[in-house]
Chain A
Amino acid sequence: MGGILVIAEHRKGDLLDVTWEILNKAAVVSESTGQRVTAVLAGFNVRAMAEKLAGRAHKVVVVDNPELANYNYEVYRDVLTGIIKNLRPVLILIGHTTTGMDLAPALAAHLNIPLATACIDFSIEDGKLTAIRQMYNGKVNARVCFSSSDCYMVTLRPGSFSVETENAWGGEIQSISLEVEKPSGIKFIRSVEAALGEVDITQADILVSVGQGIGDKKNLQLVEELAALLGGTLSCSRPVVDKKWLPKERQVGSSGKTVKPKVYLAIGISGSFQHLMGLKGGTIIAINKDPRAPIFRVADYGIVGDLFQVVPVLKEKIKSLK
């Protein structure tokens, strides 16, 4: 049968950006290999999303069932196994999100499909699939290849490809009704929304963001003063929250908030993928003593240096500019 299967991810009636990104990449690969792209949408009351997907794939396969209203590995595994066995794609693409990663490894093992995760790109050349994946805090990339198989699976990091597209496809929507058994091992109870804190960093135009490099809670004063000087807001990366130096509401990243400031000053932040996922745009400025920190790959401007030396002098320079 062949073809590229993209497992669409959605939450609360919205398709995630990563789904659009993967469909874009799939479209490019489809063009060069002739493999057709099918989006798979499993959920409850998902007709509207199916229609959106149809504009970006050759075909959309929809399974609409109350048991699929909330992600549950037990149920999704059974539904997707059925679909995959039926469609027999050569390549399955899933977003490297927490849900994607709850699903993909076990599903791939269940179906004995080779899987490469945390990938930022892949290509099919002369019928051979290779993927580029991240390792060691993002400091090293690996090009991986697969042993021969009828089907392969790759999970792709959000932000690896462009969300926008100019293509408009008229994909066919195929609804499948399946017997979906109630799960017996995992039961979804409820969803907990992020607690609303005192500070909403998503509204800030200027963010001074601090990472593990700050070393200690008592050193925060240095960056707090810088934030105050710029008229900006203090934010941080995950390790700072794990160490309880700042509350979770200040965290930028995949498990924190997504921000889109005009200016983002990343101070003592290595730039892990999870952190960068929460940063969507603006001028990124990095100060870090490690010249190989991943943050320097995405920053617009950077100073390689010890933040305890750089920040005090920077404050003086800013004072004289105000």
Chain B
Amino acid sequence: MDIIVFVKRVPDTSEADINISPDGLHIIEKDLVFDINESDKYAVEEAVQIKEKLGGSVTAITLGTDSSEDVLRRCLATGVDQAIRLTDEAFRDSDACGTARVLAAAVKDLKYDLILTGVQANDDLQSQVGPVLAEYLGLLHVTVVNKLEIDGKIARVHRELEGGVEDVLEVRLPAVLTIQTGINEPRYVSIMGIRKASRLEIKVRNAADLSLSPDGVGQKASQVKIEKLFIPVSNKATEILTGSLDEMTQKLAGIIKEKGGIS
């Protein structure tokens, strides 16, 4: 089985303070820790597990500057066979379709039975690239896959819905599947493993290599553009308690009781 996995380098925003640049168009990246997008990590693990079971190869591809090579090295250390980085000034500020166009061009000449990527990127939360890529490649797709079995030319998948419900589907391969977190348990990638992987070559491709016209990608071709980023202000009147720990918890306990929280 030859599998292609698309991965993205994103900032870890769980505890970090996020600040917006003065021009209101980007977030300030200094002091942010970057890593592979969470659902992409599960997609890579799934691809490698399938390869370990059925044989074949896994190729990881990312669209990014050279800092994205950390993410690719991690993929190689996980057991991915080949890594490709797509980079070009022209790709900057692509919308989802622009990104998908670049990714589609990258796989045009590659042999594959299955394409995986994460459900959504935790930075822009768009969840678009997987299905749009499928459309551009003339493939079908299933999103939010939390269980995957390969049976010859068919993938049997569980698509996760709201409320813990799942749809079971069979998809003819090749197809694009977007992978949900929790589908497997990603293995640990050690520093030594990453060091060993640094010896493997990461292929770099630009717009010319992919025969892409700069007008078809990046900001020029973008149909959805960010006008402004802002920190959301709540309309709700949230009462944040103040005072010493003793005072705050005393007050909160009273509120809990008042609202029927003690039975």
Contact = CB atoms under 8 A, between A and B. Distances in A.
Tell whether any CB of A sits under 8 Å from a CB of B in the complex.
yes
Interface of A: 11, 70-74, 97-99, 101-102, 105-106, 108-110, 114-118, 130, 133-147, 149, 184-195, 205-206, 212, 230-232, 238, 241-242, 248, 251, 254-258, 262-263, 265, 270, 277, 283, 285, 289-292, 294, 296-305, 309-310, 313-314, 316-318, 320-322
A257 B164 contact: yes
A192 B158 contact: yes
Nearest to A194: B164
A163 B249 CA distance: 35
Contacts of A147: 222-225
Contacts of B223: 114, 146-147, 149
B255 interface: yes
Interface string B224-238: 111111111010101
B249 A313 contact: yes
Contact of B127 (A99, A108, A118, A192): A118
B19 to A, nearest CB: 10
A297 B238 contact: yes
Considering the complex of A and B, which 8 residue pairs feature the smallest CB-CB distances, nearest first? A194-B164, A231-B263, A263-B261, A297-B234, A317-B253, A114-B223, A106-B131, A105-B128
B208 interface: no
Contacts of B252: 285, 301, 303, 314, 317
Contact of A187 (B27, B163, B169, B236): B169
A262 B261 contact: yes
B14 A212 contact: yes
B209 interface: no
A230 B144 contact: no
Contact of A297 (B228, B232, B245): B232
Interface stretch (B56-64, B74-82, B86-94, B135-143): B135-143
B142 A73 contact: yes
Interface in B6-22: 11, 13-15, 17-18, 20
Given A144-B226, A257-B163, A321-B253, A262 B260 contact: yes
A238 B262 CA distance: 26
B100 A109 contact: yes
B18 A285 contact: no
A194 B163 contact: yes
Interface string B136-172: 1000111110000000000010111111111111111
Nearest to B161: A98
Given A105-B131, A143-B227, A194-B164, 16 more contacts: A98-B144, A98-B159, A99-B161, A102-B143, A130-B227, A141-B230, A143-B226, A145-B224, A186-B140, A188-B169, A189-B170, A212-B14, A232-B261, A258-B163, A299-B236, A321-B262
A304 B232 CA distance: 18
B182 interface: yes
Contact of B167 (A70, A136, A285, A302): A70
Nearest to A282: B259
Contact of A118 (B126, B229, B232): B126
Contacts of B236: 297-300
Given A143-B228, A300-B239, A192 B166 contact: yes
A194, A314, A317 pick with most chain B CB within 10 angstroms? A317
Query: Secondary structure at chain A's binding surface: helix, strand, loop or mixed?
Result: mixed
Contacts of A291: 240
Given A105-B132, A141-B232, A300 B238 contact: yes
Given A143-B226, A146-B223, A230-B263, A102 B144 contact: yes
Query: Secondary structure at chain B's binding surface: helix, strand, loop or mixed?
Result: mixed
B30 interface: no
Nearest to A301: B239
B256 A263 contact: yes
A108 B96 CA distance: 11
A75 to B, nearest CB: 11
B165 A194 contact: yes
Contact of A140 (B18, B134, B136, B238): B18
Contacts of B254: 321
Contact of A71 (B13, B141, B163, B167): B167
Contacts of B259: 262-263, 283
A106 B135 contact: yes
A183 to B, nearest CB: 9
B125, B160, B240, B255 pick with most chain A CB within 10 angstroms? B125
Nearest to B144: A98
Nearest to B154: A187
A72 B168 CA distance: 11
B175 interface: yes
B13 to A, nearest CB: 5
Given A135-B125, A262-B261, A285 B253 contact: no
Nearest to B170: A187
24 contacts: A133-B125, A135-B229, A136-B11, A136-B18, A136-B123, A139-B18, A139-B232, A142-B230, A146-B225, A147-B222, A190-B168, A205-B260, A242-B181, A262-B260, A265-B261, A292-B18, A297-B238, A298-B236, A301-B255, A303-B252, A304-B240, A313-B249, A316-B249, A321-B253
